[in-house]
Structure 1
Amino acid sequence: MGQFFTAITASVGNLGATESKEKLLAVFQKIQFATFWIFGFSSICLFYLVNPFIAIWVGNEYWLSMDTVLLLVILFYIQGMRRAVLTFREALGLYWYDRYKPLFQGVINLAISVVLAPKLGVSGVIIGTVISVLTTCFWIEPYFLYKKGFVAPLKSYYFKYAVYTAITVVTGLVTGASVGFITGTSLAAFIGKFIVCLFVPNIIYLVMFYRTKEFQYFLILAKNIVFKKVMKKIG
């Protein structure tokens, strides 16, 4: 995943120097869509597969509580959904505007973790990290990106974020209902759950987003890449 965002950083920087703000925003929204698909799907898989994997690896006695798993997935999702913003922020050189953010984030994280860790253990530390991200990065990073980078209203970002998150939650519930038909902690059960998690979220996303301009953009891009590879082999 990291390679994907690293690869497009230079392209975004060139785009920012040559194209209009409107074009730049349109590209960002496509990357935001890709980020949602990648991390929404991955979060669902993580939630339903982490404990079955642990059971096969070291045994049921080492299972994480579902509260801890949920918190880990929430943290993974919100951190992942930042990637589009961070990629454009870095490419456009906007990191100066939120230079004090890490300081506030660290203080909030430490304070909450110190209070909650003795009572909740690992979950308390994760809660501290989640809250520190939501109270700093979640609003500061997109604020400066939209204000200084796109010169556009910020509400469209949070609207899409809310829609993508709601769809991820609903898709996760449907996937969970499907996974529930597979019982046991054997390798065969894990493989069955993995197959369900692989197909159900992607099918739902495909049905819901097939006609959107964001999905069509990546579909055409994928077709062009495949076509070039085929032609290269033929040539």
Structure 2
Amino acid sequence: MKMEKTQNASRNIVFGVSLKVYQILLPFIMRTVMMYTIGVEYLGLNSLFTSVLQVLNLAELGVGSAMVFSMYKPIAEDNSITICALMKLYRTYYRVIGGIILVVGLLLTPFMPKLISGTIPEDMNIYFLYLLNLLATVLTYWLFAYRNSVLQAHQRNDLISKVTLVTDTVKYLLQIAALVVLHDYYCYVIVLLLTQALNNVLTAIIAKRVFPQYNPEGKLAQNEIKQINGKIRDLFTSKLGYTIVSSADTIVISAFLGLTVLAQYQNYYYIMSSIIGFMSIIYASITAGVGNSMITKSVDQNYREYCVFSLLVSVVSGICGACFLCLYQPFMTLWMGENLLLPFSLVVLLCVYFWIYEYIMMASVYKDAGGIWHQDRFRPLISGVVNLALNLATVRFIGLYGIVLSTIVSMAIVSAPWITSNIFKLIFKKNPIIYVVKIVYYVFSTVLASTVAYVLTSLISINGWIGLIIKAIVCVASSVFVMVILLCRMKEFSDALYLIARMFHLEKLLKK
């Protein structure tokens, strides 16, 4: 079965972006409410729990990615029997994973206070709060999680987005009520647990209705199970590395610098992670389509699509980076106040962090779609170890600078070159030098566009929300203008325009 990849991707992106806008605005409101009702330390505590539970989620091993990848071929061949057997295996694995996370999480409970430097609010029982968060995580595996794989493999992430929209509405309204009316952080966490269960159940119901032919039944051949287990083992080292990178920063800041500093850093990272979330919608929406292309198209066609994808991601990342550079400080001043601002030099480092991270995530789409996890298995792990070692070596001397610089170095020196080499050697079977030259040019375009935007916005002396809006307009317009001027002569640019036009059914306008 050949997928309608462009149609599916555009539908997933539209629904995904709508959901992401929603998921940014309401948590933003809630973060603000939390800050002004129960205090900044609770913001830091939220981030700490999230990072600890990310570490516990290592037990997932990459089962989800391996299962979705394993469904690409049977879906293309309309092989329902194999898909059902995969679902049954997926269900078994996730039941075991949930149990492992619960047991390990319980064993870690006595050590939670040691991960916090400085004071803890007197009315807070950190053990009980941690256990509530742990149970919410376990439920994500035990309640029909295996049915999500069918939707993802068929590029029906839009259905998942719709369900999440409903459950998040319930969650945010109840959590805001818990903070504003009751001033009770315990109720806030209990709501998280209940709505997570609701999300899993509703998603499973939708998946059953859309694909009633798929049920967890049957059995795979031993050689197929062995292949899947091999993919899972390869994905474990990858997941371990990504977890170290994403969680180590938060845990190290909490342990060495305290919850207040962590909340200060996380305010900035929240904005950046919101944009990262938008970008991840694009990646998630096209991964299944790319996987299908690996089967149905030639290597040269896939390489050409990869170059177009690289340009699009580089342009979007460059514009976002320019906005971070120009708007971070005025926005943070209005949102949280000058006392919680980070130095501008840290803002610059966060912009660099963002661009490199997006490049790696873009390349990871093709790594995942191409299933080259075995050859790539040590890259994230080594990058994560380098990041953690540099974190511990520098945090005592240069504080937050050491945290951000460690991550940048680990990504730029280890992860980005390594994943590029793997993709070109194993998927495209080409020398990457010409492509690397293009990436260097994209970096130059980003730096120039960001510099022009910063100079222009610095000339605007209007303060407040009106000034922020004017700066945003100037920043976006100037950065887009510079990047279009620098990139419009590239062949990938015209291909990218045509791809965007196809997604929105406007290709006839380009032909005219």
Match in the other structure for 2:322:
44
| One-letter code aligned to 1:11 | G
Instruction: Report the Cα distance in structure 1 between the residues aligned to 2:306 and 2:372, rounded to whole angstroms.
Output: 15
Match of 2:351 among 73, 81, 94: 73
**Aligned residue in 2 for 1:61:** 339
Over alpha carbons, which structure has the higher Rg? 2
Percent of aligned pairs with the same amino acid: 25
Q: How does 1:54-203 map to 2 (within 5 A)?
A: 54-203=332-481
Post-superposition CA distance 1:38-76 (Å, at most 9, x none): 111101101111111011112223221011111111111
- The range that moved more, 153-162 or 180-189, is 180-189
Change (3 A) 1:109 1:14: same
Q: d(CA) in 2 for partners of 1:92 and 1:226? A: 27
Q: Deviations over 1:118-160 (max 9, x none)?
A: 1111111111111111232111111110001000001122111
Alpha carbons 1:56, 1:185 under 8 Å: kept:
no
Give, in whole Å, the separation in 1 of the partners of 2:364 and 2:490: 24
Q: Give the letter aligned to residue 25 of structure 1.
A: Y
Alignment check: 8 A CA contact 2:325 2:454 kept: no
1:209 CA drift (Å): 2.6
Partner of 2:496: 218
Take 1:102 and 1:6, find their aligned partners in 2: how far apart are those partners?
19
Q: What do the CA deviations read for 1:17-48 (whole angstroms, capped 9, x no partner)?
A: 12221111111000000110111110110111
Deviation at 1:227, TM superposition (A): 4.1
Quickly say closer, same or farther: Cα 1:121–1:184, change in 2 above 3 A. Answer: farther
Q: Secondary structure at the match of 1:153?
A: coil
Q: TM-score normalised to the size of structure 2?
A: 0.43
Q: Counterpart amino acid of 2:339?
A: E
In structure 2, what is the equivalent of residue 233 of structure 1?
Answer: none
Q: How far apart, CA to CA, are the structure 2 residues paired with 1:194 and 1:94?
A: 40
What SS is found at the alignment partner of 1:189? Answer: helix
Which residue does 1:232 correspond to in 2? none
Query: What amino acid does structure 1 have at the position aligned with 2:436?
Result: Y
1:3 aligns with 2:281: yes
- Bigger RCO of structures 1 and 2 (CA < 8 A, at least 6 apart): 1
Residue 342 of structure 2: SS of its match in structure 1? coil
Q: 1:168: Cα distance to partner?
A: 0.6
Consecutive unaligned residues in structure 2, runs of 5 or more: 1-278, 507-512
Are the counterparts in 2 of residues 13 and 91 from structure 1 also a CA contact under 8 Å?
Answer: yes
SS of alignment partner, residue 287 of structure 2 = helix
1:225 deviation in Å? Answer: 4.1
SS at match of 1:82: helix
Q: 1:227 to 1:109 in 2, by over 3 A?
A: closer
Whether the aligned pair in 1 keeps the contact of 2:424 and 2:431 (CA below 8 Å) is yes
- 8 Å CA contact 1:55, 1:185 repeated in 2: no
The whole-number CA distance in structure 2 between the counterparts of 1:58 and 1:163 is: 37
Q: State the alpha-carbon separation in 1 of the partners of residues 504 and 418 from structure 2.
A: 39
Determine if contact 1:5/1:87 at 8 Å carries over to the other structure. Answer: yes
Please, what TM-score do these two structures have when normalized by structure 1? 0.91
| Structure 1: gaps (5+ residues) | 229-235
Shift of 1:220: 2.4
Q: Over residues 160-197 of structure 1, what are the superposed CA-to-partner deviations in whole Å (9 max), with x where a residue is unaligned?
A: 11100011101111111111111254212111111111
2:484 to 200, 206, 218: 206
> C-alpha separation between the residues in 1 aligned to 2:339 and 2:311?
38
Q: How many residues align?
A: 230
Instruction: Indicate conservation of the 8 Å contact 2:359/2:416, yes or no.
Output: no
Larger mean Cα displacement after TM superposition, 211-220 or 5-14: 211-220
